[in-house]
């Protein structure tokens, strides 16, 4: 048994490198590449493991990229379960431009997940979720996977006696609102897409989030607002938390880190406000950490406790 099961239906083998300047038509001499096991639930499980929460990452994988992906997850010490697939695991490619400080991300399309493979993922979730306290479904859906799979995940999570946290996008996000998930986390752009209008003011955002929650089956809507903090909406209250002001170092995975931090906080018995604040500290720590490396747990706890000095902040994150 485990405390948290993460489900990543669209994992990716991430390749990151750097060059002096990104220019068209020229051959760009790059640094030695760094490879990481990417995908929302993978990142969440890795950070949960680093924070000391027992977690298992569940994901489909296949081909030579899938084998490399498994090896990377294994090397992190994170427990995992693989559902074999007939198609190779997708790749993504990231280039950091040293001259401008900009980052270019190329996301390759994933192979379709066949119906039998989808069913195998659901069956594996049923087995792994026994005794778990939370299931975290994070990341986008690969081709061939209908948004209705979110309801299947919710049903199996409920049957296992666990609570579901969802961090996804598009129609999958809309489907999540039709389930009885414990928490769903859109960002502001996704919230605007869900309600079909721009939300320029705090009052607009809060009203839209409350209306969305009222018409849904979920317990908590958590809206990540980047430099403007985070908005927590429950049936009883609406709470806005300010962001942590930090100096970015080019880090990535802030959203996944936020989900991992808040899940860790809930496992530790924090109330939703403090758990979200811990999640925000994890997201801020990820932004302060160069490259694709995970934020150090010690930095996360220092930020959460208010003991980390931000210096001259250039940005603030949720």
* Cα separation, 220 vs 266, whole angstroms: 13
| DSSP string covering 247-292 | ---S---HHHHHHHHHHHHHHTT--HHHHHHHHHHHHHHHHHS-TT
Active-site residues: which are they?
A: 256
Residue matched to tokens 């083998």: 13
Q: Are 7 and 25 in contact (CB under 8 A)?
A: no
Please give the C-alpha separations between residue 179 and each of 148, 224, 303, in angstroms, as whole numbers.
Answer: 10, 20, 34
Phi then psi for 234, rounded to 5 degrees? -120, 180
Structure tokens at 35: 């490879």
d(CA 139, CA 253): 11
Q: What is the DSSP string of 13-28?
A: EEEEEEES---SSS--
Pairing of strands 238-241, 134-138: unpaired
Name the residue with tokens 């994933």. Answer: 110
Which residue do the tokens 């989900």 mark? 259
Q: What angle do CA 49, 149, 210 make, to 5 degrees?
A: 80
Distance set, CA 67 to CA 74, 89, 91 (Å) = 11, 9, 13
């Amino acid at each position: 048994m485990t405390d948290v099961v993460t489900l990543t239906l669209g994992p990716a083998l991430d390749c990151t490198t750097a060059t002096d300047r990104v220019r068209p038509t020229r051959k760009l001499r790059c640094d030695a590449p760094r490879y990481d096991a990417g995908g929302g639930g993978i990142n969440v499980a890795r950070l949960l493991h680093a924070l000391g929460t027992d977690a298992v990452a569940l994901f489909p994988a296949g081909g030579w990229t899938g084998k490399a992906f498994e090896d990377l997850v294994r090397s992190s010490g994170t427990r995992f379960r693989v559902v074999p697939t007939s198609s190779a695991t997708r790749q993504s490619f990231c280039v950091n431009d040293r001259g401008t400080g900009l980052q270019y991300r190329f996301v390759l399309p994933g192979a379709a997940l066949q119906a039998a493979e989808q069913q195998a993922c659901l069956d594996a979730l049923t087995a792994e979720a026994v005794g778990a306290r939370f299931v975290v479904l994070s990341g986008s859906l690969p081709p061939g996977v209908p948004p209705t799979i979110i309801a299947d995940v919710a049903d199996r999570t409920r049957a296992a006696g666990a609570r579901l946290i969802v961090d996804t996008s598009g129609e999958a996000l809309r489907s999540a609102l039709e389930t009885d998930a414990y928490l769903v986390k859109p960002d502001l752009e996704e919230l605007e897409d869900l309600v079909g209008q721009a939300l320029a003011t705090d009052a607009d955002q809060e009203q839209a989030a409350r209306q969305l929650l009222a018409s849904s089956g979920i317990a908590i809507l958590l809206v990540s607002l980047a430099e403007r903090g985070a908005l927590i909406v429950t049936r009883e209250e609406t709470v806005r938390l300010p962001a942590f002001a930090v100096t970015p170092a080019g880090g990535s995975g802030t959203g996944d880190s936020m989900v991992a931090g808040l899940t860790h906080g809930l496992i530790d018995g924090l109330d939703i406000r403090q758990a979200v604040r811990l999640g925000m500290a994890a997201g801020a720590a990820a932004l302060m950490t160069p490259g694709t490396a995970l934020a150090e747990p010690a930095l996360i706890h220092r930020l959460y406790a208010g003991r980390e000095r931000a210096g001259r902040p250039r940005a603030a994150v949720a």
